[in-house]
Amino acid sequence: MKKILTGIVALVCLAGMWGCGRTVTVTELDIVPEPVFMLKKEGTYTLERTIAIATQGLGQNSPTAKYIMNSLRHVRMRPSLVARSEESDIELIINDTINPELGDEGYLLEVRQNGIRLSANTEAGLFYAYQTFMQMVPTDIEEHRYSTIVLPECTILDYPRFAWRGAHLEADRQRFGVKFIKKYLDIMATYKLNHFLLQLPDSAAFLPDSLADSVVDIDLSDHFYSPEDLADIRDYAASLFITVHVDDTIVFWGDALPYPHTPIEEGRLVVARQPLASAHHAARAGDRVVVCPDEYCRFDRYQADPRYQPQSTEGLTTLAHTYLFDPAPQGTNKYVEQNILGGQLNLWTSHIGSSSAAEYMLLPRLLAMSEALWSTRESKNWNRFRKKVELQKQRLDNRGYSYCEGSFTPLFRATRVDDHTTNIAIETEVPSTYIFYTTDGSTPSRNSQVYIGPVNLKRGTHIKILPVYKDQERDSVYEFIIK
């Protein structure tokens, strides 16, 4: 009988993911935005699908505790609350004594050999600790059931560089319903953005009944969000620690926008879209500034070669270029820097006809904006980031988001060797892109030479390049003369 039962159990395990589940060992920590401090150690902790959670300083019915419990259930885990921390897999702790290094939004995440500990001064900090934790688990956790997840022992200490980490959307209800707005807010929360600017159509959001009755052949409900819609959006955002700013009269003018609906007691709040010098001038005048120059932050522009992209606003703002954004670049006057609240991405939608198209324009550039606004200048690293984006794309896939693969325009680094020779290094935004090239004037194909590393070429050489990604030609042939 024992042999028969063993056979039945084995069949259940083979039959599907539910019976015994999968086991996975996590080796890399690819967190976006990059934490302030992260140290991976030699030990591990094995997290099983049934997760015991203990809280300290946090009510079991608090919004954050409820969010975490519901989130774990959503990814097919079985969380339960326990009274004693020593019985728990995960501890959620609001610090008894304020840790000044963490501030209002920072956190400490520790994976120890005897359990996982998330601690912060506030619920907002604890919420962000959980977002980091969820980036440590497998990318397909929402799709597959795991019986055990082996996590590396590590310590992550983290807090944001800027208080205002914003995202804007020019929206009307016809194209972007409340369901999509919530999906937008979800992705903001995942990457620790905390201010959402919802720009309504040019007309008043809510017309008086007398005026609405005079409008012929227009179904206003298709275009304008009702008070109930906006209340729903605000409540949902609040559960994600996102502040919603709704204004149907936003007019971006000159080099700055006074934003009247945000309670700032000292000085105006200015949203500056022009080059950084304009923002610094406003900050010098005592205004508090949100910096979002079009060059880096205008997300309705093309993010790759226009010939291979959906119609967008003229101009090019690639993932790599957005990653260069810094609201307060090195050398900024200290007085000016203290008046810079942060930055935000701006998404106008005149060329965007659907929520899927809006997602495509947001992603993955939103990740670059996240790291530009949260991470310290010293912790940012483009080559590390571009590799992390590839893993994050898997998460986006599993959560049903549309996104652009990235720009495949070759990025060159030329270093002079001598009077006749130049060393050429080539890459694209997207790792794992094959680069085929020729130097004899012929058109490259997949049978041409593959670039495997920096190469010395004579000055005057005519190089032609063909990028191939996931077995598809992703762009046109690029031609350069080596100088």
321-336 average pLDDT score: 92
HSE toward the beta carbon, residue 281, CA cutoff 13 A: 9
pLDDT reading at 364 higher than 80: yes
Mean of the per-residue pLDDT values of the chain: 87
Identify whether the C-beta of residue 414 lies closer than 8 Å to the C-beta of residue 422. yes
Identify whether the C-beta of residue 282 lies closer than 8 Å to the C-beta of residue 272. yes
Percent residues over pLDDT 70 in the chain: 85
pLDDT reading at 223 higher than 80: no
**Model confidence pLDDT, tens digit, residues 96-147:** 999 999 999 999 999 999 999 999 999 999 999 999 999 999 999 988 889 9
pLDDT reading at 419 higher than 50: yes
**Model confidence pLDDT, tens digit, residues 463-476:** 999 999 988 887 77
253-265 average pLDDT score: 46
Look at 421 and 5; give whichever has higher pLDDT. Answer: 421
pLDDT reading at 288 higher than 90: no
Identify whether the C-beta of residue 325 lies closer than 8 Å to the C-beta of residue 162. no
C-beta contacts of 59-64 below 8 A and 24+ residues apart: 62/123, 63/123, 63/239, 64/92, 64/123, 64/126, 64/127, 64/130
306-314 average pLDDT score: 91
Q: What's the pLDDT at 72?
A: 96
Separation CA 234–CA 327 (nearest Å) = 27
Domains, in order of start, for the chain: 18-158 (3.30.379.10), 164-205+221-398 (3.20.20.80), 411-481 (2.60.40)
For residue 133, count other CB atoms closer than 10 A to its CB: 21
Look at 409 and 98; give whichever has higher pLDDT. Answer: 98
**Model confidence pLDDT, tens digit, residues 427-473:** 889 998 999 999 999 999 999 999 999 999 999 999 999 999 988 88
Of 46-55, 243-252, 254-263, 413-422, which one has max mean pLDDT? 46-55
